Amino acid sequence: MTYQEAAEHAFGQAVSFDPQILRSYDHDLGEMPRPLMALIQHRPHTVVVARSAADVATALSLAKRYDVPVTPRGQASAGYGGAIPSRGGMVLDLSNCNRILAVDADKNTVDVEPGVVWEDLSRALAPHGLDNRVCPTSAPSSTVGGWFAMGGVGIGSLRYGSIRDSVLEIDVAGLDGTIRTFAGADMEPFHQTCGGLGVITRLRLACRPAEAILPLAVRLPDAAAAARFLETLATTPAAYSASLVNAGYCALRAQAEGHRPAITSGFLVSIALLAPQADTAAIARLASDCGGEVLDDAVAAQEWEGRYYPMRIKKIGPSALVGEFFIPFEGFAATSADLTAALPDDAFGLEAFAVRGGKLAVLVYILDDAKALLYPLRMAKAMIPLRLAARHGGAPYATGMWFSALAKGIYGPDKYERIARLKTARDSRDLLNPGSIGGPWLPFLPIISLSRCILWGTACLAPLAARLSYTRRRATKHPGATA
């Protein structure tokens, strides 16, 4: 039986080799220049829509039998290239593995298939008096499995840490077609490794009691004051989530949405408090001690309601380069100042999530136009924020395919060694999401990692790129839009 016959036999209508179908699976959130994409086989030759753990196991054993690379994919809402094939092969679309398997209201846990969408999970937990502890701001579309495999922080991370801290147990399918359960430290290698060691088919999550949330908005005069404020806020029992944006971000969003910016200078911190324990007077005192002020309730409500729309500013881009990094609270002010100095002519917005343990996950949006001639060159700017942050104790946010060369720094040497050993044992032919751990390789020189070339290239080009500011071509709202 040929590979195609075997795949059709196993999956019937749920497998496709149609080029028109396949074209939808050759990209993720990131807008990479075409010449760069041309260096990898980004278009798969097969797509399988899995609807169960058994489908996943079947797809993986098929891949092993026919030596076909497999790239798992949730909603492809991450921008690190993890869900893009680097050697063609099969994309395993997991977004239809989306059943909620069991809720244990006594233990505050839920078992889910990997393709369950965060917002759907929140809705399904509500009747049980539970809610997600953490979720990304892409919660209306992104999947539980995708976020765990990608690693990240988001809403709720001030109280509950990263997604890793809320996952209790996982099932992972391997190339041999078996599914094994991992918990505790054994789970660690599957976190942040983008499916490079196996495909997650079930996750058990810890949930929080579904308490009402009270949003508050505070303006702080500068980055140092914002960091000081967050540091104390983190110790407040009612603190659930906190994120901040700079005035530049507010200005861009106001322009995109057609209203007046909430702040015109300093930083806007949006706080979500657990309502039953909230002490708003104490927060107001804290804000004032840091030289800030509590803003109108309407601003707070608007920020909380708009929490899933961080990329609205793209409307005036039309593209956005995104630089991301972790930074300890104490390094934030210096990094922020360096950024302003390094990108003097750019319209950039800064958004950050406070994370348990005293750090911030910072996103820097630099508006651009992916169609412009100089875009591939200006892309080097996306690495500037991480480089500046590194001077002040910063670290990379995630790996994926594009930043796999940073994996050691992200995982730490111990986890890195463990992953490397497991990779050899579980997937010696590098079929599981090839490129996500250590690769991908340059097509004409397959001993050099493309990810490393990107790091070198952007390091060399960044000074030049920083001088090439982008003039926006329009600043209007799309007429007719209802959102």
Partner 1 sequence: MSTQEQSPTARDAALAKMLAEAVDTCARCGFCKVSCPTYPFGGGFETFSPRAKVAFLKDYFEGRDVLTPEWVDRLYRCTTCERCQTVCQTAIPLVALWESVRADIVTKGLGPMPAHKKLRALAEKHGNPYGESASRQSQWLSPEHHPMEAADILIFGGCTASYRMPSMLQTGVTILTRLGVPYAYAGGEEHCCASPLLRTGQLDVAGELIGKNLDLFARTGARTLVTPCGGCSKTLKHDYPVWAEKLGKPFDVTVRHFSEVYVDLLRQGRIKPSVAVNKTVTFHDPCHVGRSQGLFDEPREILAAIPGIKLLEMPRCRESSRCCGAGGGVKANYPQMAAAIARERLDEAVATGADTLVTMCPFCQGSFSQAIKESEASIGLSGLEELLLASLRQ
How many residues line the site for partner 1 (CB under 8 A)?
49
Least spacing, CB of residue 407 vs ligand FAD, in Å: 12
**Which residue, 87, 97, 100, 79, is CA-closest to 199?**
97
* Residue 351 is a binding residue for partner 1 (CB under 8 A): no
- Residue (164 or 452) nearer to ligand FAD, CB: 164
- Segment 224-253, which members bind partner 1 (CB under 8 A)? none
Sole binder of partner 1 in the list 6, 39, 100, 140 (CB under 8 A): 140
Helix (H, G, I), strand (E, B) or coil at 250: helix
User: What CA–CA distance (Å, rounded) separates 471 from 380?
Assistant: 17
- Residue (199 or 247) nearer to ligand FAD, CB: 199
- Residue (29 or 377) nearer to ligand FAD, CB: 29
Residue 149, binding choice from ligand FAD, partner 1, none, Cβ under 5 to 8 Å by partner class: ligand FAD
Least spacing, CB of residue 370 vs ligand FAD, in Å: 16
Token digits for 400? 């994926």
- Residue (373 or 481) nearer to ligand FAD, CB: 481
Least spacing, CB of residue 341 vs ligand FAD, in Å: 27
| Interacting span for partner 1 (CB under 8 A) from 180-188, 206-214, 230-238, 314-322 | 314-322
Phi, psi (deg, nearest 5) at residue 362: -110, 135
Phi, psi (deg, nearest 5) at residue 96: -95, 0
* Residue 311 is a binding residue for partner 1 (CB under 8 A): yes
**What are the b/e assignments for 238-255, b being 16+ CB within 10 Å?**
bbbbbbbbbbbbbbbbbb
Phi, psi (deg, nearest 5) at residue 98: -130, 40
Residue with tokens 């937990």: 125
* Strand runs labelled E in 10-127: 15-16, 46-49, 70-73, 90-93, 100-104, 109-112
| Interacting span for partner 1 (CB under 8 A) from 140-148, 282-290, 343-351, 377-385 | 140-148
Sole binder of partner 1 in the list 371, 391, 429, 467 (CB under 8 A): 371
* Residue 259 is a binding residue for partner 1 (CB under 8 A): no
The DSSP code sequence of 338-401 is HHHHH-TTS-EEEEEEEETTTEEEEEEEEEE-TTSTTHHHHGGGGGHHHHHHHTTT-EE---TT
- Residue (334 or 419) nearer to ligand FAD, CB: 419
User: What CA–CA distance (Å, rounded) separates 459 from 445?
Assistant: 21
Residue 318, binding choice from ligand FAD, partner 1, none, Cβ under 5 to 8 Å by partner class: partner 1
Residues with Cβ within 8 Å of residue 465, at least 6 apart in sequence: 377, 378, 379, 380, 381, 384, 458
| Interacting span for partner 1 (CB under 8 A) from 162-170, 177-185, 304-312, 354-362 | 304-312
Taking the CB of residue 316, how many other CB atoms lie within 10 A of it?
20
Least spacing, CB of residue 468 vs ligand FAD, in Å: 26
Least spacing, CB of residue 313 vs ligand FAD, in Å: 11
| Interacting span for partner 1 (CB under 8 A) from 75-83, 356-364, 379-387, 448-456 | 75-83
Asked if 405 and 483 touch (Cβ cutoff 8 Å), the reply is no
* Residue 314 is a binding residue for partner 1 (CB under 8 A): yes
**Which residue, 230, 463, 180, 246, is CA-closest to 343?**
463
- Segment 117-156, which members bind ligand FAD (CB under 6 A)? 136-138, 142-143, 145-147, 149-150, 152-154
SS3 content of the chain, % helix, strand, coil (to 5): 40, 25, 35
| Interacting span for partner 1 (CB under 8 A) from 149-157, 180-188, 241-249, 316-324 | 316-324
User: What CA–CA distance (Å, rounded) separates 25 from 35?
Assistant: 18
* Residue 76 is a binding residue for ligand FAD (CB under 6 A): yes
- Residue (103 or 466) nearer to partner 1, CB: 103
Least spacing, CB of residue 124 vs partner 1, in Å: 9
**What are the b/e assignments for 166-202, b being 16+ CB within 10 Å?**
bbbbbbbbbbebebeebeeeebbbbbbbbbbbbbbbb
Sole binder of partner 1 in the list 131, 368, 369, 427 (CB under 8 A): 369
Residue 21, binding choice from ligand FAD, partner 1, none, Cβ under 5 to 8 Å by partner class: partner 1
Residue 150, binding choice from ligand FAD, partner 1, none, Cβ under 5 to 8 Å by partner class: ligand FAD
User: What CA–CA distance (Å, rounded) separates 322 from 346?
Assistant: 13
- Segment 276-295, which members bind ligand FAD (CB under 6 A)? none
Report how far apart the first and last C-alpha atoms of the chain are (Å, whole number): 51
Asked if 101 and 111 touch (Cβ cutoff 8 Å), the reply is yes
Residues of this chain that interact with ligand FAD (CB under 6 A) are: 28-29, 71-78, 82-83, 94, 114, 136-138, 142-143, 145-147, 149-150, 152-154, 194-195, 199-200, 310-311, 400, 433, 436
Residues of this chain that interact with partner 1 (CB under 8 A) are: 13-14, 16, 20-21, 23-25, 27-29, 47, 49, 51, 75-77, 93, 95-96, 117, 120, 123, 138, 140-142, 256-257, 308-309, 311-312, 314-315, 317-319, 369-371, 474, 477-483
